[in-house]
């Protein structure tokens, strides 16, 4: 082993002062420097403004995406303090923006509950931004201070008299950290819509000034979590009409949950702690699940609903399928796992949630027998097909070799056994599949051709989905399982690439595949393993050679000023020979891939249920509402 250094003593130890550590290791504070971490900057500032609303001091929050790539958040709260800090001798706003673990949320005296508890949010955003400007309206005056990459670039200035109160933070993420990323309007709108259900009555305004015409949307909800669940279930077949809503408080922990059941095999549970999405669950989710199981079994026992059945109780697994629920807890001292707050760890919360939800559901089940019977019938049906599904899982689970499965005629595997370098192309059609097999690099690229359109899993149960030959082939090829049994450590290919034709049929097949992955192997998306290939739309031939164009705009640019050229429109992958397919779509040095990312799970759930679900009327209304936005129509 080569020697890195000749000596190791105290002088070798680096001490990072102030916010330097944030810039050196941003992932420690915001999770990553990809799209999620990039948007996390905005959400940190947004959380601070919403905390003012939770404390009862703000009624309106405005988020604006500006044309220069910056974003701003404005609220009508009390305004960040501008007086001098008694220990540091610097204005409060400067301390908040430049000192880690500085804020008014630690003691519980200023904010009873808050999402930005760590006290590093605003300072981390400041450290990771090219520039930041803070304006505070307070005590009859407007104050302003500017920063760059965590350091003040001006003193706090009293601009002049002003009415009202509030804070505006505008920042531009640092390109040295994040590259050329930009804010996703859909992701930000999704978060604001989410907050409007979690904080009923709070006015949330979204503005996007980046387009030709400014866009503005106002989010204001009065119905809370019940309306949130109603929205999530739009387009799906409900087992009962009105959501079950439970709320209460135990030991300083406020608990609220709304739930419905739909005719589906999927559980959709969204949890929040102090309004922060806890994507990885936590103790509050454990308490809810335990309470749901206990309450159903308790009332079933009283009413003898399971008499004559093959079993005398219902398990938690039986109750998960078809559940659509939103759980929100508020507590004074949340313990999250990391600054990105993906999982709640407070042990005491489990008992508080379980107590409130158990008592509330027992009472509701006594009043709403139709809801209880629908839930029990669904659970019994789930139990009855469990064994059949278990056998199906065993059939499609990876055995360590594919020789015993009927796959060699369909899957052209690669020779490498290192998943980190292996790629699986899921290709539309046998013709394109044949070209792809000839074009590929056999060392690391595998080809799985699909015959026709796969099953729409949004309209089918799990048993029917597993009976579909194309879906079964995908699951077998990936080797990582599906549903609740996904293990990405067994994934055979770290890049799974959807390669479909550049027409309406290709788009439909791609949508069906995305629906399948979202519903049954969502971890593949969350792990960053799912991609979409971008084949060219046109081939331009002229005296100087050939040019592939991937968009109408690129075609116009290439052909502008050219004489004596021809244009070939590719309608299908099968129209390209193996050399062309390799050069344009499969060669890692020249191809264009789009990584599939999940920015807003709730919005994705809603859209998939609406567009791919069984109810026609909501889909028709959606099409009528958005018909003027259609840009490319293939008829």
Please identify every residue annotated as catalytic. Answer: 428, 501, 503, 505
DSSP H helices in 521-551: 522-526
Is 145:91 a contact under the CB 8 Å cutoff? yes
Q: Report the Cα–Cα distance between both ends of the chain, in Å, rounded.
A: 65
Take residue 501 and report the two structure tokens written for it: 């034709």
CA 66 vs CA 44, 70, 71, 207, 211: distances in Å = 18, 5, 6, 8, 9
Burial class (CB in 10 A: 0-12, 13-18, 19+), 10: exposed
**Contacts with 524 (C-beta within 8 Å, 6 or more apart), sequence order:** 478, 480, 486, 488, 491, 496, 517, 530
Give the whole-angstrom CA distance, residue 110 versus residue 104: 6
Angle, CA 422 vertex, CA 440 and CA 488 arms, to 5°: 145
How does 569-578 read in b/e, with b if 16+ C-beta sit within 10 Å? ebebbbbbee
E strands in 562-627: 566-569, 593-595
Count the neighbouring beta carbons within 10 Å of the beta carbon of residue 400. 8
**Contacts with 608 (C-beta within 8 Å, 6 or more apart), sequence order:** 458, 515, 518, 519
How far is C-alpha 500 from the geometric centre of its chain's CA atoms?
24
**Residue located via tokens 């601009």:** 159
**Contacts with 23 (C-beta within 8 Å, 6 or more apart), sequence order:** 127, 128, 149, 150, 174, 177
- Cα dihedral across residues 501, 506, 510, 512: positive or negative: negative
Is 255:235 a contact under the CB 8 Å cutoff? no
Give the whole-angstrom CA distance, residue 116 versus residue 416: 46
User: Phi, psi at residue 261, to the nearest 5°?
Assistant: -120, 140
Q: What is the DSSP letter of 415?
A: S
Angle, CA 385 vertex, CA 379 and CA 391 arms, to 5°: 140
Long-range pairs for 588-594: beta carbons < 8 A, 24 or more residues apart = 591/533, 591/534, 592/533, 592/534, 592/550, 593/497, 593/531, 593/532, 593/533, 593/534, 594/531, 594/532, 594/534
Is 95:88 a contact under the CB 8 Å cutoff? yes
Burial class (CB in 10 A: 0-12, 13-18, 19+), 448: buried
* Ramachandran assignment for 513, one of left (phi > 0), alpha (psi -120 to 50 degrees), beta (any other): alpha
Is 131:146 a contact under the CB 8 Å cutoff? yes
Percent composition of the chain: helix, strand, coil (DSSP 3-state, to 5)? 40, 20, 40
């Amino acid at each position: 082993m080569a020697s890195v250094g000749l000596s190791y003593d105290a002088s070798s130890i680096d001490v990072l002062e102030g916010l330097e550590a944030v810039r050196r290791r941003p992932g420690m504070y915001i999770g990553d420097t990809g799209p999620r971490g990039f948007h996390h900057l905005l959400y940190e500032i947004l959380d601070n403004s919403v905390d003012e609303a939770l404390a009862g001091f703000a009624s309106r929050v405005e988020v604006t995406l500006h044309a220069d790539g910056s974003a701003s958040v404005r609220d009508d709260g009390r305004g960040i303090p501008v007086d001098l800090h008694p220990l540091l001798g610097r204005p409060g706003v400067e301390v908040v923006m430049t000192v880690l673990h500085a804020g008014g949320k630690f003691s519980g005296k200023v904010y009873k509950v808050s999402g930005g508890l760590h006290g590093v949010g605003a300072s981390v955003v400041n450290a990771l931004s090219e520039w930041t400007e803070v304006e505070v309206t307070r005590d009859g005056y407007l104050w302003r201070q500017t920063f760059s990459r965590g350091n003040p670039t001006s003193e706090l200035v009293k601009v002049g008299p002003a009415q009202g109160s509030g804070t505006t933070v505008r920042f531009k993420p640092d390109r040295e950290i994040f590259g050329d990323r930009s804010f996703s309007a859909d992701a930000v709108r999704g978060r604001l819509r989410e907050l409007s259900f979690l904080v009923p009555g709070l006015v949330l305004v979204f503005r996007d000034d980046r387009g030709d015409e400014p866009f503005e949307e106002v989010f204001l909800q009065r119905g809370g979590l019940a309306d949130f669940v109603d929205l999530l279930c739009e387009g799906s077949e409900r087992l009962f009409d009105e959501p079950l809503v439970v709320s209460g408080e135990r030991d300083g922990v406020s608990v609220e949950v709304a739930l419905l059941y739909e005719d589906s095999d999927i559980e959709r549970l969204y949890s929040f702690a102090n309004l922060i999405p806890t994507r990885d669950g936590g103790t509050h989710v454990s308490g809810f699940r335990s309470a749901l199981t206990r309450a159903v079994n308790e009332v079933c026992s009283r009413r003898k609903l399971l008499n004559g059945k093959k079993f005398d109780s219902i398990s938690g697994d039986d109750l998960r399928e078809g559940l659509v629920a939103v759980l929100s807890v508020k507590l004074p001292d949340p313990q999250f796992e990391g600054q990105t707050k993906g999982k709640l760890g407070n042990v005491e919360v489990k008992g508080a949630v379980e107590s409130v939800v158990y008592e509330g559901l027992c009472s509701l089940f006594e009043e709403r027998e139709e809801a209880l019977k629908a839930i029990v019938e669904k659970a019994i049906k789930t139990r009855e097909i469990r064994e059949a599904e278990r056998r199906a899982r065993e059939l499609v689970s990876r055995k360590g070799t594919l020789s015993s499965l009927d796959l060699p005629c369909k899957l052209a595997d690669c020779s490498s056994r290192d998943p980190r370098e292996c790629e699986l192309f899921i290709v539309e059609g046998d013709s394109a599949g044949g070209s792809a097999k000839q074009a590929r690099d056999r060392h690391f690229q595998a080809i799985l051709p699909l015959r026709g359109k796969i099953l729409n899993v949004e309209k089918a149960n799990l048993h029917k989905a597993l009976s579909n030959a194309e879906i079964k082939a995908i699951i077998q090829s990936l080797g990582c399982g599906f549903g609740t049994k996904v293990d990405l450590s067994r994934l055979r290919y770290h890049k799974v690439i959807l390669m479909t034709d550049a027409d309406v049929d290709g788009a439909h097949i791609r949508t069906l595949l995305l629906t399948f992955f979202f519903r049954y192997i969502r971890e593949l998306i969350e792990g960053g393993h799912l991609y979409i290939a971008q084949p060219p739309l046109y081939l331009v031939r002229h005296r100087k050679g050939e040019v592939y164009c991937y968009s109408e705009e690129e075609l116009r640019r290439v052909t502008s000023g050219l004489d004596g050229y021809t244009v070939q429109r590719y309608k299908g992958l099968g129209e390209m020979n193996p050399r062309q397919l390799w050069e344009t779509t499969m060669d890692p040095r020249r191809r264009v891939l789009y990584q599939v990312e999940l920015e807003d799970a709730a919005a994705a759930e809603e859209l998939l249920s609406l567009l791919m679900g069984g109810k026609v009327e909501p889909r028709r209304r959606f099409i009528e509402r958005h018909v003027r936005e259609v840009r490319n129509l293939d008829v």
